């Protein structure tokens, strides 16, 4: 049995005060419900430490949106190391989000390095993969996903997925309001699980694969009902407490 995971990616939004208010509303909302899903929030770097204090052993797990590809500590101006994130209470970190790949030119190899740094620091990496609209229209969705997965599998080995999460996020669905249909998403999730199962069926069976891309309260239930969809990576809708709580409920 895979415990569903619902992750809120707050991106570069809000103030510390608004983040604290959101945590308060989510904690209160979760206390009133019987949520079986694990819930993760990923605020921006400067908000992580104070938000970690606000979480105070409550039901929310904390994650960062990115980390340095550099090991240990050192002269890496502007970078934030995995050990620093673990030290202030992060349990998870996103790696390879499409906005990092697109806007910052992160390659599959760099993403694999970040994945390794995350695990070295004891963090659970959430490896984001997904195709662009052009790639989908060209019929290369599976080739793209396979290449993105292979960068991690070939350099680190399939065993690393025992302590990781994969998020399928079609780039054309992120922040566009255009969600993949449950069948479209399930097809890719099943492809991902199948690729991993070919190397290790037990690891594939236990791996949580999240869907991300315009997940909302209105579509979460039908997405999460699919066999290989184990929760969601939620951007915009995770900034609205009541909507995010409904999404968590849909995953529970
Ligand atoms: P969205 O973002 O839910 O706003 O589409 C998802 C993501 O980028 O993780």
pLDDT tens readout for residues 78-132: 999 999 999 999 999 999 999 999 999 999 999 999 999 999 999 999 999 999 9
Q: What are phi and psi of 183, to 5 degrees?
A: -70, -40
Q: What is the pLDDT of residue 92?
A: 98
Q: Three-class SS of residue 33?
A: coil
Contact status, residue 169 vs residue 141, Cβ threshold 8 Å:
no
Token match 């599998």: residue? 153
- Give residue 172 CA to ligand 1 midpoint distance, Å: 10
The token duo for 130 is 């997904």
Q: Enumerate residues 6+ apart whose C-beta is below 8 A from 53.
A: none
Give the pLDDT band (50/70/90) at residue 162: very high
Q: What is the pLDDT of residue 93?
A: 99
pLDDT confidence of residue 36:
87
* 32-58 confidence digits (pLDDT tens): 777 789 999 999 999 999 999 999 888
Rounded Cα distance, 49 and 27, in Å: 17
pLDDT for 2 beyond 80:
yes
Give the residue from 63, 60, 64, 62 showing the smallest Cα distance to 25.
60
What is the pLDDT, as a whole number, of residue 35?
Answer: 75
Q: DSSP class of residue 90?
A: -
Q: Please determine, for residue 187, whether its predicted confidence score (pLDDT) is greater than 80.
A: yes
Separation of CA 9 and ligand 1 centre (Å): 7
Angle between helices 16-31 and 45-55 (to 10 degrees): 40
State yes or no: pLDDT of 195 exceeds 80: yes
Count of residues making up the chain: 252
pLDDT at 34: 73
How far apart, in whole angstroms, are the C-alpha atoms of residue 118 and residue 66?
9
Token readout for 135 is: 């790639």
Per-residue pLDDT at 135 exceeds 90: yes
For ligand 1, atom 2: residue with the closest CA = 235
In the block, tokens 């570069």 appear at 12
Q: How many Cα atoms within 13 Å fall on the side-chain side of residue 128?
A: 28
Could you tell me the two tokens for 37?
A: 């899903």
Q: Provide the pLDDT for residue 219.
A: 97
pLDDT at 183 exceeding the cut of 80: yes
List all residues 6 or more positions away from 80 whose beta carbon is below 8 Å from its beta carbon: 45, 64, 66, 67, 68
The rounded mean pLDDT for the chain is 97
pLDDT at 77 over 80: yes
Give the side-chain half-sphere CA count within 13 A for 17. Answer: 0
Query: How far away, in angstroms, is 128 Cα from ligand 1 center?
Result: 11
| Nearest Cα residue to 145 out of 203, 98, 100, 199 | 98
- Give, for ligand 1, the residue of 101, 132, 177, 215 to mutate: max count of ligand atoms closer than 8 Å to Cβ: 215
Residue nearest (by alpha carbon) to ligand 1 atom 9: 235
Residue 159 is given by DSSP the state G
CA distance 5 to 39: 6
Residues 196-252: tens digit of each pLDDT? 999 999 999 999 999 999 999 999 999 999 999 999 999 999 999 999 999 999 999
DSSP codes of every residue in 231-247: EEEESGGGGSHHHHHHH
Closest residue (by CA) to atom 7 of ligand 1?
235
185 C-beta closer than 6 A to ligand 1: no
């Amino acid at each position: 049995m895979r415990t569903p995971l619902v992750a809120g990616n707050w991106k570069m939004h809000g103030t510390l005060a608004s983040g604290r208010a959101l945590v308060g509303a989510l904690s209160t909302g979760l206390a009133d419900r019987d949520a079986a899903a694990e819930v993760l929030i990923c605020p921006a770097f400067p908000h992580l430490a104070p938000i970690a204090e606000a979480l105070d052993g409550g039901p929310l797990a904390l994650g960062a949106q990115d980390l340095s590809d550099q090991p240990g500590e050192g002269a890496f101006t502007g970078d934030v190391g995995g050990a620093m994130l673990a030290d202030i209470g992060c349990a998870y970190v996103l790696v390879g989000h499409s906005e990092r790949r697109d806007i910052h030119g992160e390659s599959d190899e760099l993403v694999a390095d970040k994945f390794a740094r995350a695990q070295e620091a004891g963090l659970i990496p959430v490896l984001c993969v997904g195709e662009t609209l052009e790639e989908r229209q060209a019929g290369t969705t599976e080739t793209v996903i396979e290449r993105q997965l292979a960068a991690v599998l070939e350099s680190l080995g399939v065993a690393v997925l025992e302590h990781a999460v994969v998020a399928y996020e079609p780039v054309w669905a992120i922040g566009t309001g255009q969600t993949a249909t449950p069948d479209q998403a399930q097809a890719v999730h099943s492809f991902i699980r199948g690729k991993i199962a070919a190397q290790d069926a037990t690891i594939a069976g236990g791996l949580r694969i999240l869907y991300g891309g315009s997940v909302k309260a209105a579509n979460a239930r039908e997405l999460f009902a699919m066999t290989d969809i184990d929760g969601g990576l939620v951007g915009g809708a995770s900034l609205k407490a009541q909507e995010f709580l409904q999404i968590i409920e849909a995953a529970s």
